[in-house]
């Protein structure tokens, strides 16, 4: 009888299984499927999906249960509650970005700023359903900038961190699906066929080195709360451009960025427990995040169309490049270029769209810092 009792006790944990946990297994499985089969942000969605399954096993030892600490909970406290992981990832991102094309045509930075319109519009809308801290955290999803979304949500103590991260990175991966119909809806065929000649300029090494320093100082004066975000991003770029730390730059771009991305996915998954995730609020957050993303895209395009009203023929801007002002680098820039080629196989917009895309990376970080400053964080 003792043997039978011991055997049946092995299955006693099945009684702790809930339907909400099963839903999270499906969510985790979907994230893994998107990562492997569709190759959508696999370095992040794969650990996030597996982590979601891990933390939704009954009485999972991966997260803290009572007095027993779980490794994912410990990692979250060590690297996420103090925003360390997102900031370290920004060093890697900064080391990957070449600001040269943007520095050749600095006026393109205007489009990066214009494409943040959806963030502030969505904050107002989300404020109807959520408290202000959560509304701001949800609005930043529109930037399609995962690390910034995590940083802002965590700094403001949002209880929806898991849902916000899933939305931010999912929409980053869905750029090729979401952006084209939005762009077509707010442009005419004639506008999409506008050609923009590109003449390559030159950027001195001194300019490349001074740029990250100047941006950090200016951003810090305008939005002090953005200093950590902008500073770590620009420090990574300084590693790239200084010319004397190539090995550190390569390490930041590859080893550091890859390691932190894995840890980021697993630790945020610790917040994707069924009791926090499976509720109507999550669906609303995903919808508001998509709303912000769509309006960011439309905002950049409409800003370009506004400028065209004052520009002479022959100098007009292809409004599609405004859509690249979100932070999803380099996916958004490539999507705009592909759309241009689809309309006219001689219409090469890549250098413009990538430059706007890079400016969107800076603008989204500053927008996040500005929101934190306005919130007094």
- How many domains in the chain? 1
CA gyration radius for the chain? 22
Q: In which band, very low, low, confident or very high, does the pLDDT at 231 lie, cut at 50, 70 and 90? A: very high
In a domain, 347, yes or no: yes
In a domain, 4, yes or no: no
Share of the chain above pLDDT 70, in %: 96
19-46 residue pLDDT tens? 999 999 999 999 899 889 988 778 888 9
pLDDT of 119 over the 60 cut: yes
Residue 13 confidence (pLDDT): 66
pLDDT of 313 over the 60 cut: yes
Residue 22 confidence (pLDDT): 94
Pairwise CA distance, residues 192 & 340, whole Å: 6
In a domain, 3, yes or no: no
Give the range of the structural domain holding residue 170, as residue numbers without chain letter: 11-55+84-374
In a domain, 139, yes or no: yes
Give the DSSP per-residue string, 70-131: PHHHHHHHHHTTTSHHHHHHHHHHHHH---HHHHHSGGGHHHHHHTTHHHHHHHHHHTTTS-
In a domain, 1, yes or no: no
Q: In which band, very low, low, confident or very high, does the pLDDT at 8 lie, cut at 50, 70 and 90? A: low
The CA-atom distances, in angstroms, between 349 and each of 59, 157, 318, 328, 338 are 53, 40, 8, 17, 8
Residue 339 confidence (pLDDT): 92
184-216 residue pLDDT tens? 999 999 999 988 887 777 889 999 999 999 999
263-294 residue pLDDT tens? 988 888 888 889 888 888 888 998 998 898 89
Average pLDDT, the chain: 87
Residue 5 confidence (pLDDT): 62
Q: In which band, very low, low, confident or very high, does the pLDDT at 226 lie, cut at 50, 70 and 90? A: confident
In a domain, 183, yes or no: yes
The CA-atom distances, in angstroms, between 336 and each of 41, 73, 192, 252, 265 are 19, 40, 10, 28, 28
Share of the chain above pLDDT 90, in %: 36
In a domain, 351, yes or no: yes
pLDDT of 117 over the 90 cut: no
In a domain, 91, yes or no: yes
């Amino acid at each position: 009888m003792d043997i039978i009792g011991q055997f049946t006790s092995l299955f006693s944990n099945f009684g702790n299984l809930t339907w909400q946990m099963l839903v999270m297994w499906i969510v985790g499985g979907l994230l893994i499927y998107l990562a492997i089969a569709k190759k959508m942000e696999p370095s992040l969605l794969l650990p996030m999906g597996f982590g979601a399954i891990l933390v939704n096993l009954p009485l999972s030892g991966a997260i803290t249960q009572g007095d027993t600490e779980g490794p994912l909970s410990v990692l979250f406290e060590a690297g996420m509650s103090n925003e360390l992981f997102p900031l370290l990832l920004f060093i890697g991102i900064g080391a990957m970005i070449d600001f040269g094309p943007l520095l050749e045509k600095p006026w393109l930075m205007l489009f990066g700023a214009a494409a943040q319109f959806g963030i502030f519009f969505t904050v107002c809308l989300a404020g109807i359903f959520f408290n202000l801290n959560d509304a701001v955290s949800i609005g930043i999803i529109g930037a399609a900038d995962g690390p910034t979304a995590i940083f802002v949500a965590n700094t403001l103590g949002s209880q929806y961190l898991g849902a916000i991260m899933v939305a931010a990175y999912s929409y980053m991966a869905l750029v090729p699906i979401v952006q084209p119909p939005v762009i077509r809806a707010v442009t005419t065929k004639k506008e999409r066929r506008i050609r923009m000649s590109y003449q390559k300029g030159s950027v001195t090494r001194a300019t490349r080195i001074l740029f990250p320093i100047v941006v950090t100082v200016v951003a810090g004066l305008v939005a002090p709360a953005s200093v950590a975000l902008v500073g770590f991003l620009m420090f990574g770029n300084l590693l790239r451009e200084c010319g004397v730390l190539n090995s550190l730059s390569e390490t930041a771009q590859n080893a550091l960025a890859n390691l932190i991305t894995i840890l980021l996915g697993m630790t945020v998954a610790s917040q994707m427990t069924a009791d926090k995730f499976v509720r109507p609020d999550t669906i609303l957050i995903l919808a508001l995040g998509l709303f912000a993303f769509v309006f960011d895209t439309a905002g950049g395009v409409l800003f370009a169309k506004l400028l065209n009203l004052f520009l002479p023929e022959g100098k007009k801007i292809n409004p599609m490049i405004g859509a690249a002002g979100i932070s999803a680098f380099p996916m958004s820039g490539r999507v705009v270029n592909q759309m241009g080629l689809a309309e006219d196989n001689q219409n090469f917009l890549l250098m413009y769209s990538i430059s706007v895309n890079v400016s969107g990376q800076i603008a989204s970080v500053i927008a996040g810092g500005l929101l934190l400053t306005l919130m007094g964080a």
